[in-house]
């Protein structure tokens, strides 16, 4: 025991702590709008029908050999098409270095390690606020972090001027982390026009854009539309990096399946970069898990299953969009004098409500409603059954 005398308990993860508190509450009224995972209108976790069908097809038909270090090339191929476009010239010209990653987190981490190994003095600009794990990932990869303006509390929307200023003022050739769509935790995305301006400014400054795309399809219901930011950057000739995840849009949370890709100058460079990404993976986890990758490649490689998936993603996105409307309407019906327009303006899984930590504490203590203290509501936890109760409670604490 003397070996670990200096070890103190780690700080609790702010998001996982919410679920723990929710589970310990025995009130029949309790509501969990903290968790970042999709729930159906009965508040139950969902396994997509396309996933069930893919599992039936896989079951008993395959061995359990290791995947190559770079993972399932079939899965990676299909995944690149989603981000870069079916007919992408970058795919055709083999300019993309891509490997299977341990979901979005693993893709970000692999990139951060790659960045540190080959550009050890580079920094990463991270939006404020962001998914809290971004800070942990680049910290543990020993990459210095800078921040950039993103969210404007007064409008509960984008701080476009602040964002553009920070892009301009960063040293030429800086690395920026961008949320491709459905920004977490704010639900605030730039418009298409704004993305074009951002891309031009990046070009002027010679910045590198690393897109974290954890919610493709989850924002609008259409994966093509949600990839717009990336396509704009590609059209402008940027050599970008992308972290992709199937946690949310295929509901494969625990399978840990995703992809890291980096656009290179040519095929030769892409081969070199890919080999180095594999080299980084080897001492960490050797090779990625096989089951989730098989599910994804079975779905995306089969036109009927892919069609079913697209339909099911849209159902999930539409339910969330519907709950945004219902929450806003309920608050307005209750006579709240505050503006709740941002509830429907924001997009994706989260609503950055603007509630203070004290108001959130009251929601939890008086109404058994659980969420992170930054006022982030997971719209995935809102249902036709609890939206009225949630609205009444929010109205009471924001009076
Ligand atoms: N990036 C963002 C912005 C996220 O919100 C999440 C999940 O909450 C992730 C990445 C990573 O998720 P996973 O590692 O499960 O794919």
DSSP lists the bridge partners of residue 176 as 125, 209
Place of tokens 């972090």: 145
Q: Would you give per-residue pLDDT tens digits along the chain (399 residues)? A: 689 999 999 988 777 789 899 999 999 999 999 988 999 999 999 999 999 999 999 998 788 899 999 999 999 999 999 999 999 999 999 999 999 999 999 999 999 999 999 999 999 999 999 999 999 999 999 999 999 999 999 999 999 999 999 999 999 999 999 999 999 999 999 999 999 999 999 999 999 999 999 999 999 999 999 999 999 999 999 999 999 999 999 999 999 999 999 999 999 999 999 999 999 999 999 999 999 999 999 999 999 999 999 999 999 999 999 999 999 999 999 999 999 999 999 999 999 999 999 999 999 999 999 999 999 999 999 999 999 999 999 999 999
DSSP letters, 297-364, are HHHHTSHHHHHHHHHHHHHHHHHHHHHHHHHHHHHHHTT--S--HHHHHS-SSEEE----HHHHHHHH
Q: Whose alpha carbon is nearest atom 2 of ligand 1?
A: 214
Active site residue 29: no
If 0-12 CB within 10 Å is exposed, 13-18 middle and 19+ buried, where does residue 60 land?
A: exposed
Residues linked to residue 45 through DSSP beta bridges, in sequence order: 39
Terminus-to-terminus CA distance in the chain, angstroms?
53
Q: What is the pTM of this model?
A: 0.96
- The structure tokens 């001027």 sit at 161
ipTM of the complex: 0.99
Between the CA of 214 and the centroid of ligand 1 the distance, in Å, is 5
Residue nearest to atom 12 of ligand 1 (CA): 104
Instruction: Count the alpha carbons within 13 Å of 55 in the hemisphere toward its beta carbon.
Output: 10
Asked if residue 138 lies in contact with residue 126, where contact means CB atoms within 8 angstroms, the answer is yes
Active site residue 248: yes
Ligand 1 contacts (CB < 6 A) are 36, 103-105, 131, 179, 184, 212, 214, 245, 247, 253, 258
């Amino acid at each position: 025991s003397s070996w670990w005398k200096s070890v103190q308990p780690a700080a609790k993860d702010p998001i996982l702590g919410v679920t723990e508190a929710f589970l310990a509450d025995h009130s029949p009224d309790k509501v969990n709008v903290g968790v970042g995972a999709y729930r159906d209108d009965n508040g139950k976790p969902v396994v997509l029908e396309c996933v069930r069908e893919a599992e039936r097809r896989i079951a008993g038909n395959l061995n359990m050999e290791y995947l190559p270090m770079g993972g399932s090339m079939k899965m990676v191929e299909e995944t690149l098409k989603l981000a870069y476009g079916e007919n992408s010239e970058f795919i055709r010209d083999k300019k993309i270095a891509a490997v299977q990653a341990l979901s979005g987190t693993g893709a970000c981490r692999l990139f951060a390690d790659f960045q540190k190994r080959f550009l050890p003095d580079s920094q990463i600009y991270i939006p404020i606020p962001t998914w809290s794990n971004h800070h942990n990932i680049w910290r543990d990869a020993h990459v210095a972090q800078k921040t950039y303006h993103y969210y404007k509390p007064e409008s509960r929307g984008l701080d476009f001027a602040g964002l553009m200023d920070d892009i301009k003022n960063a040293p030429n050739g800086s690395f920026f982390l961008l949320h491709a769509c459905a920004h977490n935790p704010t639900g605030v995305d730039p418009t298409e026009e704004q993305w074009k301006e951002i891309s031009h400014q990046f070009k002027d400054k010679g910045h590198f854009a690393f897109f974290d795309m954890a919610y493709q399809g989850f924002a609008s219901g259409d994966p093509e539309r949600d990839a717009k930011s990336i396509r704009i950057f590609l059209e402008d000739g940027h050599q970008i990096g992308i972290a992709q995840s199937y946690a949310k849009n295929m509901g494969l949370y625990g399978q840990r399946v995703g992809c890291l890709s980096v656009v290179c100058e040519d095929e030769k460079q892409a081969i070199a970069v890919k080999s180095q990404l594999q080299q980084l993976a080897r001492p960490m986890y050797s090779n990625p898990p096989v089951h989730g990758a098989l599910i994804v490649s079975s779905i995306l490689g089969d036109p009927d299953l892919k069609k079913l998936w697209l339909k099911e993603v849209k159902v999930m996105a539409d339910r969330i969009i519907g709950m945004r409307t219902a929450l806003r309407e309920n608050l307005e019906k209750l006579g709240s004098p505050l503006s709740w327009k941002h509830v429907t303006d924001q997009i994706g899984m989260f609503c950055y409500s603007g509630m203070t930590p004290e108001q959130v504490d009251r929601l939890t203590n008086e109404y058994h409603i659980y969420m992170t203290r930054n006022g982030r509501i997971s719209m995935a936890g809102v249902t036709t059954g609890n939206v009225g109760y949630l609205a009444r409670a929010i109205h009471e604490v924001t009076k």
